[in-house]
Structure 1
Amino acid sequence: MTTSGANNVRVADSCRSWRTALAEPKRVSAVDRASEEVGRPPRSAIRSWGQRKIEAGYWSIDWPGVIQREMSLSTRAFCELSMVLTPVDDMTLLRGETTIRTGPLQSGRFRVAPANAALSASVSASGPVKFLKVFFAEETARAIGSAIHSHSIDIELEDPMLGTNDPLLVALGREVVENMNDPRPTNRAFAEEAAILMAGRVVSHYSTARYCTSIAVRSPGLDPNLDRALQLMRDHIGDSIDLGMLAASVDMSAFSFVRAFKKKYGLPPIRYHRGMRIEWAKTLLSTTACPVGKISNMLGFSEPSHFVSAFRKTTGCTPLAYRRFRS
Protein backbone atom coordinates (compact mmCIF):
# COMPACT_ATOMS: atom_id res chain seq x y z
CA MET A 1 0.00 0.00 0.00
CA THR A 2 1.32 3.49 -0.89
CA THR A 3 1.97 6.11 1.75
CA SER A 4 -0.96 8.08 0.38
CA GLY A 5 -3.22 5.03 0.62
CA ALA A 6 -2.14 4.33 4.21
CA ASN A 7 -2.87 7.94 5.17
CA ASN A 8 -6.34 7.68 3.63
CA VAL A 9 -7.07 4.55 5.68
CA ARG A 10 -5.98 6.28 8.89
CA VAL A 11 -8.16 9.29 8.08
CA ALA A 12 -11.14 7.04 7.34
CA ASP A 13 -10.62 5.12 10.62
CA SER A 14 -10.37 8.41 12.49
CA CYS A 15 -13.64 9.63 10.94
CA ARG A 16 -15.40 6.41 11.88
CA SER A 17 -14.14 6.76 15.48
CA TRP A 18 -15.45 10.32 15.67
CA ARG A 19 -18.82 9.29 14.22
CA THR A 20 -19.05 6.45 16.76
CA ALA A 21 -18.20 8.78 19.63
CA LEU A 22 -20.81 11.30 18.49
CA ALA A 23 -23.47 8.62 17.99
CA GLU A 24 -23.04 7.11 21.47
CA PRO A 25 -24.33 9.30 24.32
CA LYS A 26 -21.71 9.89 26.99
CA ARG A 27 -22.49 8.09 30.22
CA VAL A 28 -22.23 10.49 33.11
CA SER A 29 -21.98 9.09 36.61
CA ALA A 30 -25.04 9.80 38.75
CA VAL A 31 -22.65 10.41 41.65
CA ASP A 32 -20.73 13.02 39.65
CA ARG A 33 -23.96 14.80 38.73
CA ALA A 34 -25.00 14.87 42.38
CA SER A 35 -21.59 16.27 43.31
CA GLU A 36 -22.14 19.18 40.95
CA GLU A 37 -25.47 19.99 42.61
CA VAL A 38 -24.23 19.55 46.16
CA GLY A 39 -21.07 21.50 45.42
CA ARG A 40 -18.71 18.94 46.98
CA PRO A 41 -17.21 15.61 45.83
CA PRO A 42 -18.24 12.53 47.84
CA ARG A 43 -16.05 11.12 50.59
CA SER A 44 -16.55 7.70 49.03
CA ALA A 45 -18.56 6.25 46.16
CA ILE A 46 -19.61 3.17 44.20
CA ARG A 47 -19.60 3.83 40.48
CA SER A 48 -20.99 0.92 38.46
CA TRP A 49 -23.61 2.66 36.33
CA GLY A 50 -22.45 0.98 33.13
CA GLN A 51 -22.56 -2.50 34.67
CA ARG A 52 -25.20 -2.99 37.38
CA LYS A 53 -27.02 0.36 36.90
CA ILE A 54 -26.64 1.22 40.58
CA GLU A 55 -24.39 3.79 42.26
CA ALA A 56 -23.91 5.30 45.69
CA GLY A 57 -22.12 8.28 47.19
CA TYR A 58 -21.44 9.43 50.74
CA TRP A 59 -20.98 13.10 51.53
CA SER A 60 -19.88 14.85 54.71
CA ILE A 61 -20.15 18.61 54.23
CA ASP A 62 -18.74 20.97 56.82
CA TRP A 63 -18.87 24.68 56.03
CA PRO A 64 -17.35 27.05 58.60
CA GLY A 65 -19.84 28.31 61.15
CA VAL A 66 -23.56 27.66 60.86
CA ILE A 67 -24.52 26.07 57.56
CA GLN A 68 -27.26 27.82 55.62
CA ARG A 69 -27.20 26.22 52.22
CA GLU A 70 -29.57 26.12 49.28
CA MET A 71 -29.14 23.43 46.68
CA SER A 72 -30.96 21.97 43.71
CA LEU A 73 -32.16 18.38 44.03
CA SER A 74 -33.08 17.64 40.42
CA THR A 75 -33.03 13.87 40.02
CA ARG A 76 -31.80 12.38 36.76
CA ALA A 77 -31.67 8.71 37.70
CA PHE A 78 -34.94 6.74 37.78
CA CYS A 79 -34.60 6.72 41.57
CA GLU A 80 -32.45 8.69 43.96
CA LEU A 81 -32.60 7.55 47.57
CA SER A 82 -31.24 10.30 49.85
CA MET A 83 -30.65 9.41 53.51
CA VAL A 84 -29.50 11.87 56.19
CA LEU A 85 -27.01 10.26 58.58
CA THR A 86 -26.73 13.12 61.10
CA PRO A 87 -29.40 15.28 62.76
CA VAL A 88 -30.11 18.55 60.93
CA ASP A 89 -31.30 21.68 62.73
CA ASP A 90 -33.65 22.63 59.91
CA MET A 91 -34.34 21.38 56.40
CA THR A 92 -36.93 22.96 54.13
CA LEU A 93 -37.92 21.26 50.88
CA LEU A 94 -39.49 23.36 48.14
CA ARG A 95 -41.13 22.51 44.83
CA GLY A 96 -41.11 25.82 43.02
CA GLU A 97 -42.49 28.24 45.61
CA THR A 98 -44.45 25.57 47.48
CA THR A 99 -43.02 24.36 50.80
CA ILE A 100 -43.27 20.57 51.06
CA ARG A 101 -41.78 20.17 54.53
CA THR A 102 -39.80 22.23 57.03
CA GLY A 103 -38.32 21.73 60.47
CA PRO A 104 -35.66 19.64 62.25
CA LEU A 105 -34.59 16.35 60.73
CA GLN A 106 -33.62 13.19 62.59
CA SER A 107 -30.76 10.97 61.51
CA GLY A 108 -31.92 8.12 59.26
CA ARG A 109 -34.78 9.98 57.55
CA PHE A 110 -34.85 9.63 53.79
CA ARG A 111 -36.39 10.59 50.46
CA VAL A 112 -37.17 8.40 47.47
CA ALA A 113 -37.10 10.84 44.58
CA PRO A 114 -38.41 9.77 41.15
CA ALA A 115 -36.75 10.83 37.91
CA ASN A 116 -36.88 14.55 37.06
CA ALA A 117 -38.21 15.52 40.50
CA ALA A 118 -37.03 19.13 40.60
CA LEU A 119 -36.84 20.23 44.23
CA SER A 120 -34.70 22.68 46.16
CA ALA A 121 -33.55 22.34 49.75
CA SER A 122 -32.58 24.92 52.35
CA VAL A 123 -30.39 23.41 55.07
CA SER A 124 -29.35 24.85 58.43
CA ALA A 125 -26.97 22.92 60.68
CA SER A 126 -24.38 23.65 63.35
CA GLY A 127 -22.08 20.81 62.32
CA PRO A 128 -21.16 18.55 59.41
CA VAL A 129 -24.10 17.30 57.37
CA LYS A 130 -23.56 13.65 56.44
CA PHE A 131 -25.75 11.92 53.91
CA LEU A 132 -25.86 8.95 51.56
CA LYS A 133 -27.35 8.84 48.09
CA VAL A 134 -28.13 5.61 46.24
CA PHE A 135 -29.10 5.81 42.57
CA PHE A 136 -30.55 3.10 40.37
CA ALA A 137 -31.87 2.90 36.84
CA GLU A 138 -35.37 2.02 35.66
CA GLU A 139 -34.19 -1.33 34.31
CA THR A 140 -32.86 -2.15 37.79
CA ALA A 141 -36.22 -1.27 39.35
CA ARG A 142 -38.07 -3.39 36.77
CA ALA A 143 -35.74 -6.35 37.35
CA ILE A 144 -36.35 -6.08 41.10
CA GLY A 145 -40.12 -5.82 40.60
CA SER A 146 -40.10 -8.86 38.32
CA ALA A 147 -38.04 -10.84 40.84
CA ILE A 148 -40.48 -9.99 43.63
CA HIS A 149 -43.71 -10.59 41.72
CA SER A 150 -42.57 -13.13 39.09
CA HIS A 151 -43.84 -11.00 36.21
CA SER A 152 -43.12 -7.65 34.62
CA ILE A 153 -44.81 -4.66 36.28
CA ASP A 154 -44.87 -0.89 35.91
CA ILE A 155 -43.26 0.91 38.83
CA GLU A 156 -43.90 4.39 40.18
CA LEU A 157 -42.02 5.59 43.24
CA GLU A 158 -43.76 6.89 46.37
CA ASP A 159 -41.69 9.49 48.20
CA PRO A 160 -42.03 9.49 52.02
CA MET A 161 -40.57 13.06 52.01
CA LEU A 162 -38.27 12.51 55.00
CA GLY A 163 -41.22 11.54 57.17
CA THR A 164 -40.56 7.81 57.58
CA ASN A 165 -38.22 5.82 59.80
CA ASP A 166 -37.10 2.49 58.33
CA PRO A 167 -34.54 0.76 60.62
CA LEU A 168 -33.66 -1.89 58.00
CA LEU A 169 -32.98 0.73 55.33
CA VAL A 170 -30.88 2.74 57.79
CA ALA A 171 -28.85 -0.35 58.77
CA LEU A 172 -28.20 -1.16 55.11
CA GLY A 173 -27.26 2.47 54.44
CA ARG A 174 -24.72 2.50 57.24
CA GLU A 175 -23.24 -0.74 55.91
CA VAL A 176 -22.82 0.88 52.50
CA VAL A 177 -21.03 3.87 54.05
CA GLU A 178 -18.87 1.70 56.31
CA ASN A 179 -17.58 -0.50 53.50
CA MET A 180 -17.61 1.35 50.18
CA ASN A 181 -14.40 3.32 50.75
CA ASP A 182 -12.54 0.27 52.04
CA PRO A 183 -9.73 -0.82 49.69
CA ARG A 184 -10.38 -4.49 50.44
CA PRO A 185 -12.42 -6.09 47.62
CA THR A 186 -14.54 -8.13 50.02
CA ASN A 187 -15.66 -5.03 51.89
CA ARG A 188 -16.41 -3.24 48.64
CA ALA A 189 -18.55 -6.25 47.74
CA PHE A 190 -20.38 -5.86 51.09
CA ALA A 191 -21.18 -2.25 50.17
CA GLU A 192 -22.48 -3.19 46.72
CA GLU A 193 -24.58 -6.01 48.15
CA ALA A 194 -26.12 -3.64 50.73
CA ALA A 195 -26.83 -1.02 48.02
CA ILE A 196 -28.64 -3.67 45.96
CA LEU A 197 -30.70 -4.65 49.01
CA MET A 198 -31.54 -0.96 49.57
CA ALA A 199 -32.84 -0.73 46.00
CA GLY A 200 -34.91 -3.84 46.64
CA ARG A 201 -36.35 -2.33 49.82
CA VAL A 202 -37.31 0.86 47.96
CA VAL A 203 -39.11 -1.04 45.19
CA SER A 204 -40.90 -3.41 47.57
CA HIS A 205 -41.97 -0.81 50.18
CA TYR A 206 -41.86 2.66 48.59
CA SER A 207 -43.29 2.13 45.12
CA THR A 208 -46.51 0.97 43.48
CA ALA A 209 -44.96 -2.53 43.30
CA ARG A 210 -46.20 -3.13 46.83
CA TYR A 211 -49.80 -3.09 45.59
CA CYS A 212 -49.20 -5.69 42.86
CA THR A 213 -50.23 -9.32 43.15
CA SER A 214 -47.53 -11.93 42.76
CA ILE A 215 -47.94 -14.89 40.44
CA ALA A 216 -47.61 -18.17 42.32
CA VAL A 217 -44.43 -19.89 41.16
CA ARG A 218 -41.85 -22.16 42.69
CA SER A 219 -40.02 -20.28 45.41
CA PRO A 220 -36.72 -18.86 44.20
CA GLY A 221 -35.26 -19.88 47.53
CA LEU A 222 -35.59 -23.52 46.47
CA ASP A 223 -33.74 -23.06 43.18
CA PRO A 224 -31.25 -25.95 42.96
CA ASN A 225 -29.01 -23.79 40.75
CA LEU A 226 -27.99 -21.88 43.87
CA ASP A 227 -25.87 -24.88 44.80
CA ARG A 228 -23.59 -23.95 41.90
CA ALA A 229 -22.97 -20.56 43.47
CA LEU A 230 -22.33 -22.20 46.84
CA GLN A 231 -19.77 -24.53 45.26
CA LEU A 232 -18.12 -21.53 43.59
CA MET A 233 -17.80 -19.94 47.03
CA ARG A 234 -16.14 -23.09 48.37
CA ASP A 235 -13.78 -23.22 45.42
CA HIS A 236 -12.79 -19.60 46.10
CA ILE A 237 -12.76 -19.68 49.90
CA GLY A 238 -9.34 -18.05 49.91
CA ASP A 239 -10.24 -15.39 47.35
CA SER A 240 -12.28 -12.23 47.22
CA ILE A 241 -15.58 -13.09 45.56
CA ASP A 242 -17.52 -10.88 43.16
CA LEU A 243 -21.29 -10.61 43.41
CA GLY A 244 -21.62 -10.33 39.62
CA MET A 245 -19.63 -13.54 39.12
CA LEU A 246 -21.86 -15.42 41.57
CA ALA A 247 -25.09 -14.13 39.98
CA ALA A 248 -23.81 -14.97 36.49
CA SER A 249 -22.96 -18.53 37.57
CA VAL A 250 -26.68 -19.18 38.14
CA ASP A 251 -27.91 -16.94 35.30
CA MET A 252 -29.73 -14.49 37.56
CA SER A 253 -29.75 -10.73 38.04
CA ALA A 254 -27.79 -9.48 41.05
CA PHE A 255 -30.94 -8.63 43.03
CA SER A 256 -32.73 -11.90 42.17
CA PHE A 257 -29.65 -13.84 43.20
CA VAL A 258 -29.16 -11.99 46.50
CA ARG A 259 -32.85 -12.37 47.34
CA ALA A 260 -33.00 -16.08 46.48
CA PHE A 261 -29.71 -16.87 48.20
CA LYS A 262 -30.72 -15.10 51.40
CA LYS A 263 -34.06 -16.90 51.43
CA LYS A 264 -32.40 -20.31 51.07
CA TYR A 265 -29.30 -19.90 53.23
CA GLY A 266 -30.33 -17.17 55.68
CA LEU A 267 -27.67 -14.59 54.76
CA PRO A 268 -26.80 -12.51 51.70
CA PRO A 269 -24.10 -14.22 49.60
CA ILE A 270 -21.10 -12.00 50.35
CA ARG A 271 -21.73 -12.17 54.08
CA TYR A 272 -22.27 -15.93 53.82
CA HIS A 273 -18.92 -16.27 52.03
CA ARG A 274 -17.17 -14.39 54.84
CA GLY A 275 -18.82 -16.76 57.32
CA MET A 276 -17.44 -19.73 55.37
CA ARG A 277 -13.94 -18.24 55.59
CA ILE A 278 -14.25 -17.65 59.32
CA GLU A 279 -15.53 -21.20 59.89
CA TRP A 280 -12.54 -22.57 58.02
CA ALA A 281 -10.27 -20.34 60.10
CA LYS A 282 -11.84 -21.75 63.29
CA THR A 283 -11.09 -25.27 62.07
CA LEU A 284 -7.46 -24.42 61.34
CA LEU A 285 -7.05 -22.63 64.67
CA SER A 286 -8.43 -25.55 66.69
CA THR A 287 -6.82 -28.45 64.79
CA THR A 288 -3.42 -27.11 63.66
CA ALA A 289 -0.53 -25.03 64.96
CA CYS A 290 -0.59 -22.89 61.82
CA PRO A 291 0.35 -19.26 62.67
CA VAL A 292 -2.42 -16.66 62.52
CA GLY A 293 -0.57 -14.75 59.79
CA LYS A 294 -0.42 -17.84 57.58
CA ILE A 295 -4.12 -18.61 58.13
CA SER A 296 -4.91 -15.01 57.21
CA ASN A 297 -2.96 -15.39 53.96
CA MET A 298 -4.54 -18.78 53.15
CA LEU A 299 -8.01 -17.27 53.49
CA GLY A 300 -7.22 -14.32 51.23
CA PHE A 301 -7.10 -11.49 53.77
CA SER A 302 -4.79 -8.72 52.59
CA GLU A 303 -3.43 -8.09 56.12
CA PRO A 304 -3.47 -10.18 59.34
CA SER A 305 -5.08 -7.19 61.08
CA HIS A 306 -8.01 -7.39 58.63
CA PHE A 307 -8.40 -11.08 59.42
CA VAL A 308 -8.30 -10.44 63.18
CA SER A 309 -10.92 -7.69 62.81
CA ALA A 310 -13.26 -9.89 60.72
CA PHE A 311 -12.79 -12.85 63.09
CA ARG A 312 -13.55 -10.74 66.17
CA LYS A 313 -16.60 -9.20 64.50
CA THR A 314 -18.01 -12.68 63.77
CA THR A 315 -17.01 -14.62 66.89
CA GLY A 316 -16.54 -11.95 69.55
CA CYS A 317 -12.90 -12.87 70.23
CA THR A 318 -9.51 -12.76 68.53
CA PRO A 319 -8.07 -15.79 66.68
CA LEU A 320 -5.45 -16.37 69.40
CA ALA A 321 -8.08 -16.20 72.15
CA TYR A 322 -10.20 -18.69 70.20
CA ARG A 323 -7.20 -21.03 69.85
CA ARG A 324 -6.43 -20.86 73.59
CA PHE A 325 -10.08 -21.56 74.42
CA ARG A 326 -10.23 -24.55 72.06
CA SER A 327 -6.89 -26.08 73.05
Structure 2
Amino acid sequence: MMPATSGAIAALDAGSAPASDAVGAIGGILDRPPALAESILRSGTRLTQRWGHGAFHASLPGMDSHVIMTYYGAAQDSSWRQGSRRMSARTRPGSITLIPEGQDGRWDVEGPIEVSHVYLSDARLQSAAEALAQKGRAELIGRICFEDPACSRILELLSQEAARGDTASSLFVEQAIDLLCTQLLRAHSSEGAAEPPVIRKGLADWQVRRVTAYMQEFIDNEIRLDELAGLVSLSRFHFCTAFRLATGQTPHEWLTALRISEARRLLAQPDMPVTNIALAVGYQTPSAFASSFRRLTGMTPSAFRRGL
Protein backbone atom coordinates (compact mmCIF):
# COMPACT_ATOMS: atom_id res chain seq x y z
CA MET A 1 0.00 0.00 0.00
CA MET A 2 1.17 3.54 -0.58
CA PRO A 3 2.16 5.64 2.42
CA ALA A 4 -0.31 8.16 3.82
CA THR A 5 0.22 11.69 2.68
CA SER A 6 0.69 14.17 5.50
CA GLY A 7 -2.31 16.46 5.22
CA ALA A 8 -2.00 16.25 1.45
CA ILE A 9 1.69 16.97 2.11
CA ALA A 10 0.57 19.56 4.65
CA ALA A 11 -1.57 21.21 2.00
CA LEU A 12 1.51 20.99 -0.23
CA ASP A 13 3.39 23.17 2.25
CA ALA A 14 3.39 26.92 2.18
CA GLY A 15 5.06 28.27 -0.90
CA SER A 16 4.82 25.07 -2.98
CA ALA A 17 2.87 24.82 -6.23
CA PRO A 18 -0.94 24.77 -5.90
CA ALA A 19 -2.70 21.44 -6.34
CA SER A 20 -4.09 20.72 -9.80
CA ASP A 21 -7.78 20.37 -10.54
CA ALA A 22 -8.37 16.62 -10.19
CA VAL A 23 -10.93 16.28 -12.99
CA GLY A 24 -8.78 18.29 -15.39
CA ALA A 25 -5.57 16.48 -14.46
CA ILE A 26 -7.07 13.02 -14.94
CA GLY A 27 -8.97 14.05 -18.07
CA GLY A 28 -5.72 15.35 -19.52
CA ILE A 29 -4.06 11.91 -19.57
CA LEU A 30 -7.03 9.83 -20.79
CA ASP A 31 -8.30 9.28 -24.31
CA ARG A 32 -11.84 9.82 -22.99
CA PRO A 33 -12.50 12.39 -20.23
CA PRO A 34 -14.31 11.45 -16.99
CA ALA A 35 -18.07 11.03 -17.53
CA LEU A 36 -18.99 13.57 -14.86
CA ALA A 37 -22.47 13.91 -13.39
CA GLU A 38 -23.85 17.41 -13.89
CA SER A 39 -24.59 18.06 -10.23
CA ILE A 40 -21.90 19.33 -7.86
CA LEU A 41 -22.38 17.87 -4.41
CA ARG A 42 -21.82 19.33 -0.97
CA SER A 43 -18.34 20.84 -0.47
CA GLY A 44 -17.62 20.56 -4.19
CA THR A 45 -17.54 16.77 -4.41
CA ARG A 46 -18.10 15.32 -7.92
CA LEU A 47 -18.85 11.84 -9.23
CA THR A 48 -18.91 10.07 -12.57
CA GLN A 49 -21.05 7.61 -14.37
CA ARG A 50 -19.54 4.26 -15.27
CA TRP A 51 -17.42 4.73 -18.39
CA GLY A 52 -14.53 3.21 -20.29
CA HIS A 53 -11.18 4.54 -21.47
CA GLY A 54 -7.94 3.24 -22.92
CA ALA A 55 -4.49 2.66 -21.46
CA PHE A 56 -2.44 5.54 -20.10
CA HIS A 57 1.18 6.00 -19.12
CA ALA A 58 1.72 9.41 -17.57
CA SER A 59 2.52 11.37 -14.42
CA LEU A 60 -0.19 12.99 -12.34
CA PRO A 61 0.54 16.07 -10.22
CA GLY A 62 -0.77 16.48 -6.70
CA MET A 63 -4.51 17.09 -7.03
CA ASP A 64 -7.00 19.27 -5.16
CA SER A 65 -9.29 16.44 -4.04
CA HIS A 66 -9.17 12.78 -3.06
CA VAL A 67 -9.85 10.51 -6.05
CA ILE A 68 -11.50 7.15 -5.40
CA MET A 69 -12.26 4.72 -8.23
CA THR A 70 -13.57 1.20 -8.72
CA TYR A 71 -13.42 -1.20 -11.63
CA TYR A 72 -15.70 -3.26 -13.83
CA GLY A 73 -15.04 -5.93 -16.46
CA ALA A 74 -11.71 -7.45 -17.47
CA ALA A 75 -8.68 -7.01 -15.21
CA GLN A 76 -5.74 -4.88 -16.34
CA ASP A 77 -2.23 -4.24 -15.06
CA SER A 78 -1.86 -1.07 -12.99
CA SER A 79 1.19 0.46 -11.32
CA TRP A 80 2.15 3.62 -9.43
CA ARG A 81 5.62 4.99 -8.81
CA GLN A 82 6.88 7.92 -6.74
CA GLY A 83 10.65 8.09 -6.50
CA SER A 84 11.84 4.74 -5.15
CA ARG A 85 8.35 3.72 -4.02
CA ARG A 86 6.24 1.60 -6.33
CA MET A 87 3.08 -0.46 -6.24
CA SER A 88 1.68 -2.81 -8.86
CA ALA A 89 -1.58 -4.74 -8.93
CA ARG A 90 -4.43 -5.72 -11.23
CA THR A 91 -7.73 -3.93 -11.49
CA ARG A 92 -10.68 -6.14 -10.62
CA PRO A 93 -14.30 -5.75 -9.52
CA GLY A 94 -14.59 -5.28 -5.76
CA SER A 95 -11.33 -3.34 -5.52
CA ILE A 96 -10.62 0.38 -5.31
CA THR A 97 -7.77 2.75 -6.05
CA LEU A 98 -7.44 5.76 -3.75
CA ILE A 99 -5.27 8.76 -4.62
CA PRO A 100 -5.14 11.12 -1.61
CA GLU A 101 -5.30 14.86 -2.17
CA GLY A 102 -1.86 16.24 -3.05
CA GLN A 103 -0.22 12.90 -3.90
CA ASP A 104 1.66 12.85 -7.19
CA GLY A 105 3.33 10.02 -9.07
CA ARG A 106 3.74 8.11 -12.30
CA TRP A 107 0.87 5.84 -13.38
CA ASP A 108 0.98 3.01 -15.92
CA VAL A 109 -2.39 1.40 -16.51
CA GLU A 110 -3.24 -0.94 -19.37
CA GLY A 111 -6.55 -0.75 -21.21
CA PRO A 112 -9.25 -0.89 -22.21
CA ILE A 113 -10.63 -0.39 -18.73
CA GLU A 114 -14.07 0.40 -17.28
CA VAL A 115 -14.31 2.54 -14.14
CA SER A 116 -16.29 5.01 -12.08
CA HIS A 117 -14.77 7.79 -9.98
CA VAL A 118 -15.61 9.99 -7.02
CA TYR A 119 -13.70 13.26 -6.60
CA LEU A 120 -14.06 13.82 -2.87
CA SER A 121 -13.23 17.22 -1.40
CA ASP A 122 -11.05 17.20 1.68
CA ALA A 123 -13.55 19.52 3.40
CA ARG A 124 -16.21 16.81 3.05
CA LEU A 125 -13.85 14.16 4.44
CA GLN A 126 -12.81 16.28 7.43
CA SER A 127 -16.46 17.06 8.19
CA ALA A 128 -17.17 13.32 8.32
CA ALA A 129 -14.15 12.80 10.57
CA GLU A 130 -15.47 15.43 12.98
CA ALA A 131 -18.87 13.73 13.02
CA LEU A 132 -17.13 10.49 13.98
CA ALA A 133 -15.25 12.34 16.73
CA GLN A 134 -11.86 11.47 15.28
CA LYS A 135 -9.00 13.37 16.84
CA GLY A 136 -6.82 15.53 14.64
CA ARG A 137 -6.79 15.73 10.89
CA ALA A 138 -7.93 12.70 8.87
CA GLU A 139 -5.19 11.42 6.54
CA LEU A 140 -6.06 8.95 3.82
CA ILE A 141 -3.73 6.12 2.78
CA GLY A 142 -2.98 5.69 -0.90
CA ARG A 143 -4.27 2.41 -2.30
CA ILE A 144 -3.99 0.67 -5.67
CA CYS A 145 -6.51 -2.01 -6.65
CA PHE A 146 -7.14 -2.68 -2.95
CA GLU A 147 -9.82 -5.21 -2.04
CA ASP A 148 -12.76 -3.34 -0.47
CA PRO A 149 -16.16 -4.66 -1.60
CA ALA A 150 -18.02 -2.14 0.59
CA CYS A 151 -16.37 0.93 -0.96
CA SER A 152 -16.61 -0.60 -4.41
CA ARG A 153 -20.33 -1.23 -4.05
CA ILE A 154 -20.96 2.33 -2.85
CA LEU A 155 -19.05 3.67 -5.85
CA GLU A 156 -21.08 1.45 -8.16
CA LEU A 157 -24.36 2.72 -6.68
CA LEU A 158 -23.16 6.31 -7.03
CA SER A 159 -22.29 5.73 -10.69
CA GLN A 160 -25.83 4.47 -11.31
CA GLU A 161 -27.32 7.56 -9.68
CA ALA A 162 -24.99 9.97 -11.51
CA ALA A 163 -27.25 10.32 -14.56
CA ARG A 164 -30.58 10.83 -12.76
CA GLY A 165 -30.60 14.21 -11.06
CA ASP A 166 -34.08 14.13 -9.44
CA THR A 167 -34.69 15.14 -5.83
CA ALA A 168 -34.81 11.59 -4.49
CA SER A 169 -31.61 10.74 -6.30
CA SER A 170 -29.83 13.80 -4.92
CA LEU A 171 -30.80 12.84 -1.37
CA PHE A 172 -29.60 9.27 -1.94
CA VAL A 173 -26.29 10.45 -3.40
CA GLU A 174 -25.51 12.83 -0.52
CA GLN A 175 -26.19 10.10 2.03
CA ALA A 176 -24.14 7.58 0.04
CA ILE A 177 -21.20 10.02 -0.04
CA ASP A 178 -21.42 10.28 3.75
CA LEU A 179 -21.38 6.48 3.92
CA LEU A 180 -18.36 6.40 1.59
CA CYS A 181 -16.54 8.88 3.83
CA THR A 182 -17.25 6.70 6.86
CA GLN A 183 -15.84 3.60 5.14
CA LEU A 184 -12.76 5.52 3.95
CA LEU A 185 -12.10 6.76 7.47
CA ARG A 186 -12.58 3.29 8.97
CA ALA A 187 -10.53 1.33 6.46
CA HIS A 188 -8.25 3.74 4.60
CA SER A 189 -7.11 6.44 7.01
CA SER A 190 -3.99 6.52 9.16
CA GLU A 191 -6.17 6.47 12.29
CA GLY A 192 -8.87 4.06 11.22
CA ALA A 193 -7.01 1.44 9.16
CA ALA A 194 -6.63 -1.90 10.87
CA GLU A 195 -2.96 -2.05 9.91
CA PRO A 196 -0.51 0.86 9.60
CA PRO A 197 0.91 1.62 6.17
CA VAL A 198 3.96 -0.47 5.38
CA ILE A 199 6.64 -0.33 2.74
CA ARG A 200 6.62 -3.50 0.69
CA LYS A 201 9.96 -5.25 0.28
CA GLY A 202 11.10 -7.51 -2.48
CA LEU A 203 13.31 -7.29 -5.54
CA ALA A 204 15.10 -4.04 -6.26
CA ASP A 205 13.97 -2.09 -9.33
CA TRP A 206 17.06 -3.16 -11.28
CA GLN A 207 16.29 -6.80 -10.54
CA VAL A 208 12.72 -6.44 -11.79
CA ARG A 209 14.07 -4.77 -14.94
CA ARG A 210 16.60 -7.59 -15.48
CA VAL A 211 13.92 -10.28 -15.13
CA THR A 212 11.53 -8.35 -17.37
CA ALA A 213 14.18 -7.87 -20.06
CA TYR A 214 14.95 -11.60 -20.01
CA MET A 215 11.26 -12.44 -20.36
CA GLN A 216 10.96 -10.05 -23.32
CA GLU A 217 14.08 -11.41 -25.03
CA PHE A 218 12.91 -15.03 -24.81
CA ILE A 219 9.17 -14.38 -24.96
CA ASP A 220 8.67 -17.03 -27.67
CA ASN A 221 10.28 -19.75 -25.53
CA GLU A 222 9.23 -21.71 -22.48
CA ILE A 223 10.71 -19.78 -19.54
CA ARG A 224 11.34 -21.65 -16.31
CA LEU A 225 11.34 -20.30 -12.78
CA ASP A 226 14.86 -21.60 -12.23
CA GLU A 227 16.13 -19.41 -15.07
CA LEU A 228 14.48 -16.29 -13.65
CA ALA A 229 15.59 -16.98 -10.08
CA GLY A 230 19.15 -17.48 -11.29
CA LEU A 231 19.19 -14.00 -12.83
CA VAL A 232 19.02 -12.48 -9.34
CA SER A 233 20.81 -15.29 -7.45
CA LEU A 234 17.80 -16.49 -5.45
CA SER A 235 16.14 -19.83 -4.89
CA ARG A 236 12.86 -20.44 -6.70
CA PHE A 237 10.90 -20.02 -3.46
CA HIS A 238 12.55 -16.77 -2.41
CA PHE A 239 12.41 -15.40 -5.95
CA CYS A 240 8.66 -15.95 -6.22
CA THR A 241 8.04 -14.30 -2.86
CA ALA A 242 10.32 -11.33 -3.57
CA PHE A 243 8.94 -10.85 -7.08
CA ARG A 244 5.36 -10.74 -5.84
CA LEU A 245 6.24 -8.28 -3.08
CA ALA A 246 7.97 -6.01 -5.61
CA THR A 247 5.34 -6.11 -8.35
CA GLY A 248 2.09 -7.33 -6.81
CA GLN A 249 2.06 -10.23 -9.31
CA THR A 250 3.52 -13.70 -9.64
CA PRO A 251 6.27 -14.21 -12.24
CA HIS A 252 3.76 -16.18 -14.34
CA GLU A 253 1.22 -13.35 -14.25
CA TRP A 254 3.94 -10.83 -15.15
CA LEU A 255 5.13 -12.98 -18.08
CA THR A 256 1.58 -13.49 -19.31
CA ALA A 257 0.96 -9.73 -19.28
CA LEU A 258 4.16 -9.18 -21.31
CA ARG A 259 3.12 -11.83 -23.82
CA ILE A 260 -0.34 -10.35 -24.30
CA SER A 261 1.11 -6.84 -24.61
CA GLU A 262 3.44 -8.06 -27.38
CA ALA A 263 0.53 -9.91 -28.98
CA ARG A 264 -1.46 -6.67 -29.12
CA ARG A 265 1.42 -5.04 -30.97
CA LEU A 266 1.69 -7.90 -33.45
CA LEU A 267 -2.07 -7.99 -34.05
CA ALA A 268 -1.76 -4.49 -35.48
CA GLN A 269 0.11 -6.11 -38.39
CA PRO A 270 -2.83 -7.34 -40.53
CA ASP A 271 -0.76 -9.74 -42.65
CA MET A 272 0.51 -11.79 -39.68
CA PRO A 273 -1.74 -14.80 -38.97
CA VAL A 274 -3.03 -15.23 -35.45
CA THR A 275 -1.45 -18.69 -35.28
CA ASN A 276 1.98 -17.19 -35.99
CA ILE A 277 1.42 -14.52 -33.36
CA ALA A 278 0.57 -17.20 -30.80
CA LEU A 279 3.87 -18.95 -31.47
CA ALA A 280 5.79 -15.65 -31.48
CA VAL A 281 4.67 -14.86 -27.92
CA GLY A 282 5.25 -18.30 -26.44
CA TYR A 283 1.98 -20.22 -26.87
CA GLN A 284 2.11 -23.66 -28.43
CA THR A 285 -1.52 -23.68 -29.61
CA PRO A 286 -3.91 -20.98 -30.88
CA SER A 287 -6.53 -22.11 -28.34
CA ALA A 288 -4.18 -21.56 -25.37
CA PHE A 289 -3.26 -18.15 -26.78
CA ALA A 290 -6.90 -17.17 -27.35
CA SER A 291 -7.87 -18.25 -23.83
CA SER A 292 -5.07 -16.23 -22.22
CA PHE A 293 -5.71 -13.22 -24.45
CA ARG A 294 -9.41 -13.20 -23.65
CA ARG A 295 -8.81 -13.58 -19.92
CA LEU A 296 -6.66 -10.44 -19.86
CA THR A 297 -8.44 -8.26 -22.44
CA GLY A 298 -12.04 -9.45 -22.41
CA MET A 299 -12.00 -10.26 -26.15
CA THR A 300 -10.53 -12.74 -28.59
CA PRO A 301 -7.41 -11.89 -30.61
CA SER A 302 -9.53 -11.73 -33.80
CA ALA A 303 -12.04 -9.36 -32.19
CA PHE A 304 -9.20 -7.20 -30.93
CA ARG A 305 -7.73 -7.01 -34.43
CA ARG A 306 -11.09 -6.08 -35.97
CA GLY A 307 -11.37 -3.19 -33.51
CA LEU A 308 -8.03 -1.65 -34.51
TM-score of the aligned structures, taking structure 1 as reference length: 0.47
* Max Rg structure: 1
Q: Which has the higher helix share?
A: 1
Q: Which has the higher contact order (CA 8 A, sep 6+)?
A: 2
Q: Name the TM-score, length of structure 2 as normaliser.
A: 0.49
